[in-house]
């Protein structure tokens, strides 16, 4: 697939949607345009609770040190480190491809997740509006969809998401692994601040959207003690469900995470890495199906118990393996292709 570099990349911080974004990254941005042949990815992992997903962007400007999607950037000849944060691939014909998919007789109107890989509401969405365009296609075809993001930018599209919630049961999940702004800024530097994410829950709920909080990833010794506060604030904002997932550190992600952790928390880094090693049964990462989304050992057991007890006290529906979509029975799809206008001649 040919990637077309953009000579003068657009600046998401110089337009009317800047109110939803945090401060711009102190890094040079490179944008590559891709005209793909397909946009809907099919998932065959038993660890995930969705079958189909749409990812309008590759790479992510949020620059989260723990992001499990970093290795996927190597498929395009880029690195999993700073390349992942600064060299972003934009699928400029995403909405067009989604429409083509929905028009195929083989498509049966199954739920689609935005996104299964990188954040569909990362800052460049403020310029390209690809996620919004895809959601508008879902609304036109009445195709069920769900959204997972850690960006306040989704509030810009509350009109479309609210309509989708009414007509096709669209759900949203906001990822919030930190209650503390300082902790969040150190590990996920260009994602929306926790305060903005809780407000995002409130705005979406106000538009009639069922919203959950994804307390993930959990890094024991760093953010596990913040779980009760995250759940309390999410519930107060209107969330009705919560999920819990331990951090995943593939070999390409581990050095990025370790470097960031040691720079930000030099006195805690060794303790955190040791706790992750314990949680993963003596390894820094578990790659096998059935184990990737689950922790091990007594410490992880205590974390799960704390999460479950607090969520239950708040009246939140929970999952602790990332399969949030599977926890909710799927009603018959309302999917419908627009009827063609018949000719008068």
Q: Specify if 286 maps to a domain.
A: yes
Instruction: Report the SS3 class of residue 257.
Output: helix
Query: What is the per-residue pLDDT for 7?
Result: 77
Highest-confidence range of 35-49, 158-172, 331-345, by mean pLDDT? 158-172
**196 vs 90: CA distance, rounded Å:** 25
- Report the mean per-residue pLDDT for the chain: 91
**264 vs 168: CA distance, rounded Å:** 43
Instruction: Read off the pLDDT band of 13 (50, 70, 90).
Output: low
pLDDT digits 0-9 by tens, 245-299: 999 999 999 999 999 999 999 999 999 999 999 999 998 888 776 677 889 999 9
Task: Determine contact, residues 319/327, Cβ cutoff 8 Å.
Answer: yes
- The continuous run of DSSP H or E covering 30 comes out as strand 30-34
Strands 112-114 and 145-149: parallel
The least confident of 37-51, 60-74, 267-281 is: 37-51
Q: C-alpha 324: how far from its chain's center?
A: 13
Helix intervals (H) in 153-268: 158-168, 181-187, 194-206, 227-237, 254-264
Cα Rg, the chain, nearest whole Å? 20
Task: Determine contact, residues 135/160, Cβ cutoff 8 Å.
Answer: yes
Look at residue 318 and tell me whether its pLDDT is greater than 50. Answer: yes
Q: Specify if 340 maps to a domain.
A: no
119: domain CATH number?
Answer: 3.80.30.30
245 vs 46, residue with greater confidence: 245
Q: Specify if 83 maps to a domain.
A: yes
Instruction: Read off the pLDDT band of 344 (50, 70, 90).
Output: very low
Average pLDDT of the segment spanning 161-171: 97
Q: Specify if 309 maps to a domain.
A: yes
Question: Shortest CA distance to 120 belongs to which of 44, 41, 217?
Answer: 41
Contacts of 156 (CB under 8 A, 6+ apart): 17, 20, 126, 132
Q: Specify if 281 maps to a domain.
A: yes
Instruction: Read off the pLDDT band of 153 (50, 70, 90).
Output: very high
Average pLDDT of the segment spanning 34-54: 84
Query: What is the per-residue pLDDT for 286?
Result: 80
Token couple for 280: 């993963």
Q: Specify if 61 maps to a domain.
A: yes
Look at residue 324 and tell me whether its pLDDT is greater than 80. Answer: no
pLDDT digits 0-9 by tens, 122-131: 999 999 999 9
Q: Based on the structure, what is the number of domains in the chain?
A: 1
Task: Determine contact, residues 139/160, Cβ cutoff 8 Å.
Answer: yes
Query: What is the per-residue pLDDT for 326?
Result: 46
Q: Specify if 334 maps to a domain.
A: no
Query: What is the per-residue pLDDT for 213?
Result: 98
Look at residue 323 and tell me whether its pLDDT is greater than 60. Answer: no
Phi then psi dihedrals of residue 257, to 5 deg: -65, -45
Query: What is the per-residue pLDDT for 343?
Result: 44
Residue matched to tokens 């996920």: 188
Phi then psi dihedrals of residue 217, to 5 deg: -85, 155
Supply the pTM of this predicted model. 0.92
Look at residue 10 and tell me whether its pLDDT is greater than 80. Answer: no
Strands 30-34 and 87-91: parallel
Contacts by 104-110, CB closer than 8 A, 24 or more apart:
107/335, 108/333, 108/335, 109/141, 109/142, 109/143, 109/144, 109/333, 109/334, 109/335, 109/336, 110/51, 110/52, 110/144, 110/333
Q: Specify if 200 maps to a domain.
A: yes
Instruction: Read off the pLDDT band of 322 (50, 70, 90).
Output: low
Cis peptide before 115 (omega within 30 of 0): yes
**49 vs 299: CA distance, rounded Å:** 25
Query: Which structural domain, as residue segments, surrounds residue 242?
Result: 3-15+22-327
Query: What is the per-residue pLDDT for 116?
Result: 81
Question: Shortest CA distance to 211 belongs to which of 179, 178, 246, 170?
Answer: 170
Look at residue 325 and tell me whether its pLDDT is greater than 70. Answer: no
Q: What is the DSSP string of 143-182?
A: --EEEEES-GGGGGGHHHHHHHHHHH--EEEEE---S-HH
70 vs 1, residue with greater confidence: 70
**How much of the chain, in percent, has pLDDT values that exceed 70?**
91
DSSP 76: G
Strands 57-58 and 52-54: unpaired
Query: What is the per-residue pLDDT for 196?
Result: 97
Look at residue 67 and tell me whether its pLDDT is greater than 80. Answer: yes
pLDDT digits 0-9 by tens, 80-134: 999 999 999 999 999 999 999 999 999 999 999 998 889 999 999 999 999 999 9
Instruction: Read off the pLDDT band of 58 (50, 70, 90).
Output: very high
């Amino acid at each position: 697939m040919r990637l077309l570099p953009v000579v003068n990349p657009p600046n998401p911080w110089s337009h009317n949607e800047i109110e939803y974004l945090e401060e711009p990254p102190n890094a040079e941005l490179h944008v590559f345009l891709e005209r793909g042949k397909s946009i809907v990815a099919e998932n065959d992992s038993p660890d995930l609770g969705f079958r189909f997903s749409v990812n309008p962007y590759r790479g992510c400007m949020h620059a989260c040190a723990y992001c499990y999607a970093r290795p996927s950037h190597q498929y395009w000849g880029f690195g999993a480190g700073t390349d992942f944060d600064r060299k972003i691939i934009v699928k400029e014909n995403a909405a067009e491809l989604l429409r083509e998919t929905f028009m195929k007789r083989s498509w049966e109107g199954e739920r689609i997740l935005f996104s299964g890989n990188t954040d569909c509401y990362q800052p460049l969405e403020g310029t390209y509006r690809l996620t919004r365009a895809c959601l508008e296609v879902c609304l036109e075809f009445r195709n069920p969809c769900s959204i997972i993001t850690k960006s306040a930018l989704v509030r810009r599209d509350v009109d479309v998401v609210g309509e989708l919630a009414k007509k096709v049961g669209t759900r949203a999940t906001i990822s919030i692994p930190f209650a503390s702004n300082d902790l969040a800024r150190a590990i996920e530097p260009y994602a929306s601040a926790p305060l903005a994410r809780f407000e995002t829950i409130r705005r979406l709920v106000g538009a009639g959207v069922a919203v959950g909080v994804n307390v993930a990833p959990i890094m024991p010794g760093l953010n596990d003690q913040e779980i009760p506060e995250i759940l309390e604030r999410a519930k107060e904002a209107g969330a009705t469900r919560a999920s819990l997932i331990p951090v995943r550190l593939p070999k390409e992600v581990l050095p990025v995470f370790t470097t960031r952790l040691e720079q930000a928390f030099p006195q805690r880094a060794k303790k955190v890495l040791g706790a992750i090693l314990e949680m993963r049964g003596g390894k820094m990462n578990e790659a096998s199906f059935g184990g990737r989304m689950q922790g091990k050992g007594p410490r992880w057991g205590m974390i799960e118990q704390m999460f479950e007890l607090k969520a239950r006290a708040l009246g939140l529906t929970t999952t602790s393996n990332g399969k949030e979509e599977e926890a909710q029975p799927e009603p018959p799809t309302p999917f419908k292709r627009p009827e063609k206008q018949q000719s008068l001649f």
